[in-house]
Amino acid sequence: MYENEPDTNRKAVLVAVQRSHVEDVEFAESLAELRRLAKTLEFEIAGTCTQRRPTFHAGTYLGSGKLVELKVLLERSTADTILVDHEISPSQARNLEKATRAVVMDRTAVILEIFHRHARSRAAKAQVEIVRLQYMAPRLREQAMGRDRQRGGIGGRGAGESNLELDRRKIRDRVAELTAELSSLEQERRTQRARRRDLARVALVGYTNAGKSTLMRALTGSEAYVADKLFATLDTTVRTLVPETRPRILVADTVGFIKSLPHGLVASFKSTLAEALEASLLAHVVDASDPGFERQLEVTTEVLTEIGAGEVPRLLVFNKIDRVGDEVARKEAVAALLARWPDALVMSAKSEADVARLHAELAAFFTHDLVEAELRVPWDRQQLRGEIFAACEVVEERTEADAAVFRVRAHRETIARLGLR
């Protein structure tokens, strides 16, 4: 999709400008995250070039003196790619490429490439392709000067249409085609969600690589893909909590968030994140071992608010506590976290006891407002038995002459919908 897409095992130099309003800690965390993004794309980091400036250089992002230093670093390290820790304009990228003769990828391009490689389902692939095309459209430029630039007639090109206009039209047509495909897929997802509307649902949300998919496997026994990479999961997976509870609880694993996530991806993945919007509870998973976890927590909260899930009840889950130093350090970390967030759960997804505690917390949340009722199911409507056992806790079952009678515990909405009282 891009010119000169990155291959594996290529060398890259990280480039970042620290503007005057950005604190040192925030700058260091952002640069470390770019390094992890590069690792996910299997780049070998050959060096880092940073500069303090009030603003980005309008032409080349870096100032002229630092640009010379960057060129020397590229030559000495034999790196052929520059990864910029900001979204830069097409002209800045082009000028930087001309000055260094290296491939330039800004932060948005890096994230989009990772999403492209990790997308698996039709919906995720279509969503990623739309955003990639929209990102690429303003960055198109004419090919070689000798190419025929203005020719009408047969062969797909309209009268007087330049190569650039032709490419842009192809992009518009492809985006329209993918948007229509997504609309069809979204209708299917809405139908699936409608079938689950009375089931208790919890969505695992959080920063990328916080351990959500590992928790998903531990809670549901599913084969969710797990890898120590950013954005390893792009497709929403929904499974039943095991051991099963009554009423049954569904657990959804969602795409991770990241600082400066391209707005197009937030908008494009709203349908994927619909599980978070429609969940009764969000389990906000945080990597307790990451030094920058507080900023990651803030980013996730901001994105949840942006997609309209800010008011959904939330359980804060600090994961990966097993990676925090030795036993003494872990105890101190747990105490500090609970002192600040007393209602949080501090755990490791690798600990069966911790997973059992989380299981109990989820079950308790979904049973605290259950009411008891009797449901009479006439003999000619026995097909409702499966639905009753799935959505309710059946306390007692007895038979009468004209019906089976179930004494159940369930949510008021479920009992009202069944309409069997």
pLDDT at res. 275: 65
Q: What is the pLDDT of residues 142-164, one digit of tens each?
A: 333 334 444 444 444 554 457 77
- The full set of domain ranges for the chain reads 11-114, 119-143+157-191, 196-367, 371-418
Q: What is the mean pLDDT of residues 330-339?
A: 96
3-class DSSP state for residue 405? strand
CATH class of 11-114: alpha beta
What whole-number distance in Å separates Cα of residue 281 and Cα of residue 363? 11
Q: What is the pLDDT of residues 390-421, one digit of tens each?
A: 788 899 999 999 999 999 988 887 888 887 76
Pairing of strands 200-206, 249-253: parallel
Higher pLDDT, 274 or 387: 387
The residues, any chain, with a CB within 8 Å of residue 181's CB and separated by 6 or more, are 122, 126
Q: What is the mean pLDDT of residues 179-202?
A: 72
User: pLDDT class for 193, splitting at 50, 70, 90?
Assistant: low
Inter-CA distances, 397 with 198, 246, 375, 393, 404, Å: 21, 15, 10, 11, 7
pLDDT at res. 142: 34
What whole-number distance in Å separates Cα of residue 257 and Cα of residue 41? 17
Residues 244-276: b if buried by 16+ CB within 10 A, e if exposed = ebbbbbbbbbbbbbbbebbebbeebbbbbbbbb
Q: What is the mean pLDDT of residues 36-59?
A: 94
pLDDT at res. 152: 42
Instruction: Provide CATH code, domain 196-367.
Output: 3.40.50.300
Helices (H), 196-234: 212-220
Mean pLDDT over each residue of the chain, to the nearest integer: 84
Q: What is the mean pLDDT of residues 104-113?
A: 92
Q: Are 391 and 345 in contact (CB under 8 A)?
A: no
Which helix (H) or strand (E) covers residue 185, if one does?
A: helix 163-195
Q: What is the pLDDT of residues 114-137, one digit of tens each?
A: 888 877 778 778 888 998 998 888
368 phi, psi to nearest 5 deg: -70, -25
Encoded tokens for 379: 């003999």
pLDDT at res. 179: 87
Encoded tokens for 415: 């009992």
Question: Rounded to 10 degrees, what is the CA torsion of 269, 270, 276, 279?
Answer: -130
What whole-number distance in Å separates Cα of residue 114 and Cα of residue 99? 26
Length of the chain: 421
Helices (H), 41-140: 64-77, 90-100, 107-118, 122-136
Q: For residue 19, how many other CB atoms are within 10 A of its CB?
A: 13
Q: Return the CA Rg of the chain.
A: 26
Which helix (H) or strand (E) covers residue 227, if one does?
A: none
Q: What is the mean pLDDT of residues 23-46?
A: 92
Q: What is the pLDDT of residues 254-270, one digit of tens each?
A: 877 787 776 667 665 66
pLDDT at res. 370: 85
Percentage of the chain lying above the pLDDT 70 cut? 83
Q: What is the mean pLDDT of residues 217-239?
A: 69
What whole-number distance in Å separates Cα of residue 421 and Cα of residue 405? 10
Domains 11-114 and 196-367 share a fold: yes
Q: Are 213 and 253 in contact (CB under 8 A)?
A: yes
Question: For the sheet containing 345-346, what is the strand order?
Answer: 237-240, 249-253, 200-206, 281-287, 314-319, 345-346
Closest-CA residue to 296 (of 270, 271, 320): 320
* DSSP state letter for 139: G
pTM confidence score: 0.74
